[in-house]
Amino acid sequence: MEGYIGKILRVNLTDGEFAVEDIDPDLIRQYVGGRGLGTKILYDEIDPAIDPLSPENKLIFLNGPLTGTGAPAGSRYMVITKAPLTNTIACSNCGGSFGPELKQAGYDGIIFEGCSEEPVSLWINNDEVEIRSAIDLWGKTTHETDDLIKAEIEDKFVARDTQIACIGPAGENMSKLACIISNKNRAAGRTGVGAVMGSKKLKAIVVRGTKGIRLADGKAFNTAIKSAMDKLNAGPVTSEALPAFGTPVLVNIVNECNILPTYNWQSSSYENAGKISGETMAETIVTRHKGCFACSIACAKCTEIEDPEFKGKGEGPEFENVILMGSSCGIDNLGAIAKASYLCNELGMDTISVGGTIATAMELFEKGYITEKDAGMKLNFGNAQALVAMTEKMGRGEGFGAVMADGGARLAEKFGHPELFMGVKKMEAPAYDPRGVQGMGLQYATSNRGACHVRGYTMANEILGVHEKVDPLITDGKAALVITFQNLTAIIDSAGLCLFVALCPGFLYEEVQGLLNGATGFNYTVDELVQAGDRIWNLERLFNQKAGFTKEDDTLPKRLLEVPAGPGNKVCELDKMLPEYYKLRGWDDGFPGKEKLAELGLE
């Protein structure tokens, strides 16, 4: 095969057996790779109704056909499993160099089954595969784990070329906010995929590969790379904003649009946004620009905090996490926000959900539903010390941190006020208030993994005007816009590209098509890819249906539906968009019917 390797490693952690299997090329073609193909494998192999933390769940790491090929921003591997946080299908996606190295070792991905009794790590060096004890690594942070594994490799030059994906203490404790970390600071962040890895007692995957990836048509592929890079270098977001300021470039923009979650979404603008903006970060804490594998954008920002109280260094914070830990907690101390983010990376937790959960806890505290005695500390809005201290407790599962480590939905429910959880399907919402950007509200409600911005980033058109500027306050046309972005994103993810390519004008199916055809030789048509995106989305929906979800779950927090806010002083008018969304999706009663399934070959 070309682009893709056509091989997947299956590892049974219960009995320690493993085997290399061929992947059916027809399936690859139909599902493109990564997210799509992984969903297909999971859907066929597990009962979607199982407990995500049981040995019956499977954990799939899977590259896209463009991962590691030199396609710009083609660095992503995806983790597909049933999500502990949401109980939906999970696909969490991560950059860095781990995915490309796994492919160089000769595998598109790994399927983990069962559950080990003792902590283990999986070591891969091309054809050599070995399960090793990880007892000594258990309890270590992701950074310590990375260092200890590399120290174990005799040849330090081989160690440097080795790539690692691991969990921290949060994953070991099966926190539903746990993520999987690669390159110390890159995360397969959302939906609690790290907890599944922890439930299987799998601490780390260690990969070294030197085999090479074959391309179907190297010349055509290079032409496609050039075309893609020319586009990325012409787009203001991908050539200027992200390289200079990283994702926090959005802080000022989103605040000016009056859609910035503040005080747990009680307000939609923050008076001190300037103190936590990308521009301020660039002036004060950014030390270096960094790129994932073969990325022409390089949005990652290495940062360092000198303030003795929050001293530390790492990468980020990223936009969502600046907001959820910052304005949403009423905190304008960039040092504290960065420190909490570093802790999340080291302990292996999703920064967005941790911020969202702490913001919910702060509102519960301010309203007297959680007391200082419950929490072991004052959790008032604006308490920067509490943000950092509670993040650490959550990551280590200590005290009240253990209660909060399963996310805001379960916390708010436990203390009798589920309405104060700001998310969908138990996942904390990202940092755009849909009362002022209606399409994002429909996207949160219908996303297959709960409130999520990277399943259909309509912000690109509604606020940033990337492909076409549309009015963020109206509901007309938003159902179609959301569907377009959701399906396109499914293809970008499955291909192994970073979603940020879609923040570039005109980077749509044609660009992905050119790259995919050069790498795989599949000669995809655009229509075929559009349909594949639709197929992936529908299959994810089917998974969720079998997991027990109904259309009543496609909703938003009460606050967003009932309390007007934002630039139009409106609520999110979900009821106006949702029926049209189902209709345009071709769904009867919220789910694909026989006709739609037949159209997509999903019967």
Partner 1 sequence: MDKVRIKIDHNKCTGCRHCETACSSNHYENMVNPALSRIRVYIDEEANQFFPVIAGPFTEAECTCKYDVIIDGKEYDECSVCRASCPRRTWFREPGTGVALKCDLCGDPADPHCVQICNHGALALVEI
Coil/strand/helix, residue 254: helix
Which CB atom, from 362 or from 501, has the smaller least distance to partner 1?
Answer: 501
Pick from 337, 268, 220: nearest CA to 567: 268
Sign for the pseudo-dihedral over CA of 600, 82, 400, 306 = negative
Which CB atom, from 226 or from 378, has the smaller least distance to partner 1?
Answer: 226
Q: What length is written for the chain?
A: 603
Residue 435 near residue 441 (C-beta atoms within 8 A): yes
Pick from 124, 64, 144: nearest CA to 99: 64
- Count Cβ atoms within 10 A of the Cβ of residue 540 and give its class: 0-12 exposed, 13-18 middle, 19 or more buried: buried
CA distance 78 to 63: 6
| Cβ 160 to partner 1 shortest distance, Å | 7
| Cβ 155 to partner 1 shortest distance, Å | 7
Amino acid at position 599, single letter: E
Which CB atom, from 101 or from 534, has the smaller least distance to partner 1?
Answer: 101
Residue with tokens 């090479």: 212
Pick from 26, 3, 60: nearest CA to 213: 3
Which CB atom, from 106 or from 248, has the smaller least distance to partner 1?
Answer: 106
Spatial CB neighbours of 138, under 8 Å, sequence gap ≥ 6: 119, 172, 203
Which CB atom, from 66 or from 358, has the smaller least distance to partner 1?
Answer: 66
Which CB atom, from 108 or from 462, has the smaller least distance to partner 1?
Answer: 108
Strand-strand pairing, 587-588 and 591-592: antiparallel
Q: Where are the beta strands (DSSP E) in 396-506?
A: 423-424, 427-428
Which CB atom, from 294 or from 495, has the smaller least distance to partner 1?
Answer: 294
Residue 407 near residue 426 (C-beta atoms within 8 A): yes
CA distance 111 to 98: 16
Pick from 28, 36, 32: nearest CA to 60: 36
| Cβ 360 to partner 1 shortest distance, Å | 34
Which CB atom, from 67 or from 87, has the smaller least distance to partner 1?
Answer: 67
CA dihedral 105, 111, 112, 113 (to 10 degrees): -150
Residues that bind partner 1 (CB under 8 A): 2, 68-70, 72, 97, 100, 104, 146, 155, 157-158, 160-161, 183-184, 209-218, 221-222, 225, 229, 233, 287-296, 298, 300, 302
Which CB atom, from 212 or from 274, has the smaller least distance to partner 1?
Answer: 212
Residue 381 near residue 330 (C-beta atoms within 8 A): yes
